[in-house]
Amino acid sequence: MRYFVIAVLVLIIASLGSALYFVFHDQSGSDRAFKALAVRVGLSVLLFLFLMAGLYFGFIHGRLS
C-alpha cells in the first residue's frame, strides 16, 4: 500500500514537471501541457479515491479508529 502511494505521488510530480516543460518549450498551438495537467488531475483523484477506499475497507488504519 505504501509503495503504491509513493509511486503515484512520483507520477503526479513527473506529470507536473512535464507540463511545466511543455508550457515553456512547446509551440503555441500544442495541447501537450493541457494533457499532462489532465493526467496529473486524474492521478490525484485516483489516489484520493484509493486512499478513501483503503480507509473504508480497513486497509489503512487511521489514528481515530
**What pLDDT does residue 27 have?**
79
Can you give the pLDDT at residue 28?
Answer: 76
Phi-psi region of 58 (alpha: psi -120 to 50; beta: other; left: phi over 0): left
Q: What is the pLDDT of residue 35?
A: 92
Q: Where are the domains of the chain?
A: 2-57
H helix runs in 26-57, sequence order: 32-57
Residue 64: the pLDDT is 64
Residue linked to cell 489514528: 63
Mean pLDDT by 10 residues, the chain (65 residues): 92 94 84 92 96 90 68
